[in-house]
Amino acid sequence: MNIVTIIKGIAILALFLIALALGSQNQAPVTFSFLIAKSEFHLSTLLGLVFVSGFAICGVASIWVQIKLKHQIKNLKKQLRKYEPKEAQSNEKSVSKSVAVKKA
């Protein structure tokens, strides 16, 4: 594991613990209004759920971008392989012409 990954993980864990600590100081029930319903949660529970759901959404978005970029890299490598032999052949022809000129 990379040191940067470890530091990021520790920072995320610290933020989650801070959210839980702030929520545990105030155990008052909070009314959370959904689109079609209302429910009461403890503040600590609501903060934890919102943090975890935000983390999950960001994780899914990050994985989606990585998959998209890997697919783009794969396509670009395929295009590169398609054009490399043509360039190599043209370079060989130009090298053979220059050798022929030097011999003459």
Kindly report, residue by residue over 4-48, the tens digit of the pLDDT: 889 998 998 898 788 777 767 778 888 988 888 899 988 778 877
pLDDT of amino acid 14:
92
User: Taking the alpha carbons of 30, 35, 38, 39 in that order, is the dihedral positive or negative?
Assistant: negative
Judged on CB neighbours under 10 Å (0-12, 13-18, 19+), 57 is exposed
Distance between CA atoms of 2 and 79, rounded to whole angstroms?
32
Banded model confidence at residue 89, pLDDT cuts 50, 70, 90: low
Which helix (H) or strand (E) segment is 32 a member of? strand 29-33
